[in-house]
């Protein structure tokens, strides 16, 4: 295993651990949804209504382009 492969593995393990901890924390501590949503709910909401997020992304990109053009 090369150094680059090892770094990619640790990055993946770290990200998965962080997301797993986040999910467990929200569920075990019964955090209210308006304070912090679990990652599983964020992903399911994204896949349930992708048009909303794509439209918001396009609008943000448009505003970014206008801002860069003005500056």
Question: pLDDT by residue (tens digit) across 5-14?
Answer: 999 999 999 9
**What is the DSSP code (8-state) at residue 3?**
H
Domain around 63? 3-70
Are 19 and 39 a contacting pair, CB within 8 Å? yes
Residue 18, token pair as written in the block: 């962080």
Question: pLDDT by residue (tens digit) across 17-53?
Answer: 999 999 999 999 999 999 999 999 999 999 999 999 9
Does the structure show a pLDDT above 90 at 3? Answer: yes
- Half-sphere exposure of 24 toward its Cβ, with a 13 Å CA cutoff? 6
Position 1 scores a pLDDT of: 85
Number of domains forming the structure of the chain: 1
Number of neighbours of residue 26 by Cβ within 10 angstroms: 19
**pTM for this structure?**
0.74
- Phi, psi at residue 35, to the nearest 5°? -90, -50
């Amino acid at each position: 295993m090369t150094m680059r492969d090892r770094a990619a593995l640790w990055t993946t393990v770290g990200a998965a651990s962080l997301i797993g901890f986040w999910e467990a924390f929200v569920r075990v501590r019964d955090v209210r949804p308006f304070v912090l949503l679990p990652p599983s709910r964020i992903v399911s909401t994204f896949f349930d209504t992708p048009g909303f997020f794509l439209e918001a992304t396009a609008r943000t990109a448009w505003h970014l382009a206008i801002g860069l053009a003005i500056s």
